[in-house]
Chain A
Amino acid sequence: MEKYDIVIIGGGPAGLAAAVAARKAGTKSILILERDRELGGILNQCIHNGFGLHTFQEELTGPEYAARFEAQVLELGIEYRLNTMVMDISREKLITAMNRERGMYQIQAGAIVLAMGCRERSRGALNIPGYRPAGIYSAGTAQRLVNMEGYMPGRKVVILGSGDIGLIMARRMTLEGAEVKVVAELMPYSGGLKRNIVQCLDDYGIPLKLSHTVTDIKGKERVEGITLAAVDERGKPIPGTEEDYECDTLLLSVGLIPENELSGQMGVELNSVTSGPVVNESLETSVDGVFACGNVLHVHDLVDFVSEEAAMAGKNAAHYVKDYVEKCTEKSSGYGKVISIQPTGGVRYTVPSFIRPENMVDQLTIRFRVGSVYKKCYVSVYIGEERIIHKKRPVMAPGEMEEIKLEKSRLIGCRDYETVRIQIEEA
């Protein structure tokens, strides 16, 4: 059976960055398993610009951003296999994979980095009433058809959900000759980045209807129209507010779900808020030596932060492998106390969920999302009654990931507490 020190599940932005970082941290035997026919993952279909400002200090398109990391992978001689589906991973880190050439085979990994990304929430999960005709696409599926295959999925389009992919697709469909009639969003705020509302909707005069949803889909064979209605505070349609739109296509951009079926099968503990693994300061999951990063861990808005997070996971996986080889001892005993991070007061979750202070880097990035829109507020971090961080934020919204930095020195010093609270406070 084949053996690799680190096997990375997924060759998208997270997997590539993890692989590069692991190699730079000294691990030689690394394998990336990718199910698609090329590396780069979803970036290949994200042909718009706006990537890389943070990582490369320049504005790149998705394929260009991916190419930069692919080039590093090639230069470092990191092995990868395309068109390969991982079918199963055991707790003992035995990976079962399959492709056309090799058939079904197993690989023993010393450490694993989960980088499978996420999938789009489908129409079915939303319980939108109506028929089930052709012409209902998730925004990402439409993006693949248009950007990679050159096919138009429709001419007259309504978009439900103002997630970034939906906004981006509003512009893409318009530029390729379709008419985008309206973008409807169930919540009273957009799920996407503000700049995408400006450059994808406002630029083309596409209206955004907040607090609206689709209440009916017409057309038995192909979509013929949809009905939009305003919703109340609980998201229920308000009778009498219905408006009919004639269209042949409904695109859905209604949320992304980390793709953790493999993680779940191997017994990795999942966070019910993010649907991603619960991880510690090293981005290690509840299964020893299994790390997670990118959208499989929690859905990001920006690939730059995926790369940053994934590099950390890759580096930590490399350290894990090295420690394991050098000491070959049970590692759980050596790390001392564990501090859990409690998201409260408007903070929905944090990544990581807990920290072993002895094991953390000097300055650890904690990423999180808030549950609703906050204006002129503070992000506060408490150890016991003591507030150790009080950072002013003009606006916070669920659609935009936030971060704070925790100092190792601050946590090492606080021996008496087992939790750190993070919350939003009004100014």
Chain B
Amino acid sequence: MYDVIIIGAGVSGSAAARELSRYNVKVCVLEKSEDVCCGTSKANSGIVHAGYDAAPGSLMAKLNVQGNRMMGQLSKELEFPFQRKGSLVVCRSKEELPVLMRLKEQGEENGVEGLEILNPEQALALEPNLTEQVEAALYAPTAGIVCPFGLNIALAENACENGVEFHFDTEVESIEKVNRGFLLKTDSGDYRARYVVNAAGVYADVFHNMVSSRKLHITPRKGEYFLLDKGAGDHVSRTIFALPGKLGKGVLVTPTVHGNLLVGPTAADIENKEGTNTTGDGLAAISEKAGQNVRNLPLKKVITSFAGLRAHEDGHDFIIEEAEDAPGFIDCAGIESPGLTSAPAVGLRIAEILREKMRLQQKPDFQGQRKGILNPELFSMEERNRLIQEQPAYGHIICRCEMISEGEILDAIHRPLGARSLDGVKRRTRAGMGRCQAGFCSPRTMEILARELGVSMEEITKAGGGSGLIVGTNKDVL
């Protein structure tokens, strides 16, 4: 029996877990995948939005601005990459100027600081590769970029260090209201909890509807992206947005915290909640739209493309509250963009709701600092040599594109909630995320995983479940 079960180890669930870990409360996170950050949280733009997009008065607007403000401090406490680089919304026609002005006013109403309308000269001075058709641009200095995996993993690790249990490969199949709480049936046994936090991303409607008669409806809204080589990373120095349209913020161009360039997303409503495949049409659409606001985009330097699903609820706002007809069931639903930005505030809000209801007491021994995986690239040669002397594995490069050493990979495997798959290593260390897309390092990383986890190569997966990489040995079926 747990006090609280959180469904989903995405960024919202992990933020809630971390906030709850401040209190004397028994919390368990159930995650259907093999790792944290496997759904919507892993495939998005990695933007920390300023907060001018959401309608004033909405929960989205409030938590966006609040999350943005929290991000800097949080990135220091939990050591994940975050850079407050600013953003521009580009307006290319005089007719649309009022839309841009309205966006600025909306931002100010939401409490966004430092918004400025730039004339074409000012905009081009900031971003020389901006389209020459720029009529005006909305500059938001508080916007930034974050590593989505870094944020999610850091929150979860810190929650784990503070006593939250994480059960992976555990898919919730049904939820029943029982006496003083809930019974959750999963593919690996039954769980009971007094309170449930529903942070299930695109599946949040399914779980909500199991216990509530006031139905939610979430549409997976697919966004496809191109990731470009680091050689293209400085093509722009800030996030460049198009004027927002009906389905969202349009195709953006942004540097990433690791120095790549990211272009996307598209927006297409689909039925399949697992439909994270890219499509010919989607990829063609990015190529077509990407160049509208940024000139000479080096799309030849694409190193990978991917798709993510936003959890769009019909009401287009975050739903973070106790379900009206299911006391103890706390929804965290409809967390689409700016969900990543808002995550710190989302976690806080959920913890607040439960603190009040459960009269939670702070734990004296809560440890809010988390040590990130070392980034030896930032070290001086002296520091690096000291590190290698202590741990020679840091002198052995495994991923030659991102220059990731065995030391970082070992750390990723052995830290709390450590990596168990190639993708798990990749999200924690960037090994395999570079221009050769793991062609070189994957056999080597697989060997390290097998050795460290004490399993055979046949058991090593790309991303858990049925994603095995090796099917047998030479001549075994001859």
B-contacting residues of A (Cβ < 8 Å)?
A: 35, 83, 85, 87, 96, 98-104, 119-120, 122-125, 127, 129-135, 137-138, 140-141, 144-146, 149-155, 176-177, 215-217, 220-222, 237, 248, 261, 264
Contacts and interface: CB of A to CB of B under 8 A. Distances in A.
A127 B302 contact: yes
A101 B394 CA distance: 10
Given A98-B388, A176-B478, 9 more contacts: A98-B395, A100-B392, A122-B438, A124-B303, A134-B461, A135-B469, A176-B474, A222-B466, A222-B468
Nearest to A106: B381
Interface in B302-321: 302-306
Contact of A150 (B278, B393, B473, B477): B473
A215 B280 contact: yes
Nearest to B406: A100
B470 A152 contact: yes
A141 B109 CA distance: 54
A98 B397 contact: yes
A99 B280 contact: no
B280 A132 contact: no
Best-surrounded residue of A104, A122, A149, A237 (most CB of chain B within 10 A):
A104
B417 interface: no
Contacts of A99: 395-396
Given A100-B395, A104-B388, A141-B442, A127 B474 contact: no
A177 B302 contact: no
Contact of B388 (A100, A119, A264): A100
B282 A129 contact: yes
Interface string B315-339: 0000000000000000000000000
Contacts of B282: 129
Nearest to B377: A87
B59 interface: no
B439 interface: yes
Interface string B416-457: 000000000000000000011111101100000000000001
A144 B441 CA distance: 11
A103 B466 contact: no
Contacts of B462: 133-134, 221
Nearest to A147: B474
A220 B272 CA distance: 12
Contact of A103 (B283, B385, B440): B385
A100 B396 contact: yes
Interface in B370-397: 381, 384-385, 388-389, 392-393, 395-397
B467 A124 contact: no
23 contacts: A85-B400, A99-B396, A101-B395, A103-B384, A104-B384, A104-B395, A129-B279, A130-B277, A138-B439, A141-B442, A141-B443, A153-B469, A153-B470, A153-B471, A155-B472, A155-B477, A176-B475, A177-B476, A215-B280, A221-B463, A248-B471, A261-B401, A264-B231
B144 to A, nearest CB: 26
Contact of B467 (A102, A130, A222): A222
Contact of A131 (B276, B438, B470): B276
A394 to B, nearest CB: 34
Contacts of B227: 124
B430 to A, nearest CB: 15
A152 B388 contact: no
Contacts of B467: 133-134, 221-222
A223 to B, nearest CB: 10
Contacts, number: 141
Contacts of B471: 152-155, 248
A174 to B, nearest CB: 11
B274 interface: yes
Nearest to A151: B470
Main secondary structure of the interface of A (DSSP, over half): mixed
B126 interface: no
Given A124-B303, A152-B474, A103 B389 contact: yes
A141 B443 CA distance: 7
A96 B397 CA distance: 13
A207 B442 CA distance: 29
Contacts of B393: 100
Contacts of B384: 98, 103-104
Interface string B7-35: 00000000000000000000000000000
Most buried by B among A99, A133, A134, A145: A134
A99 B397 CA distance: 8
Contacts of A103: 384-385, 388-389, 395
Contacts of B389: 103
Contact of B397 (A35, A101, A123, A177): A35
B437 A124 contact: yes
A150 B388 CA distance: 32
Contacts of B276: 131-132, 220
Contacts of B461: 134
Contacts of A144: 443
B400 A35 contact: yes
B98 interface: no
A247 B351 CA distance: 47
A129 B469 contact: no
Contacts of B474: 146, 150-152, 176-177
A122 B437 contact: yes
Given A103-B384, A124-B303, A144-B443, A151 B395 contact: no
A160 to B, nearest CB: 14
A221 B466 contact: yes
Nearest to A85: B397
Nearest to A220: B274
A324 to B, nearest CB: 27
Contacts of B385: 103-104
A151 B457 contact: yes
Contacts of B277: 129-131, 216-217
A276 B365 CA distance: 57
B392 to A, nearest CB: 4
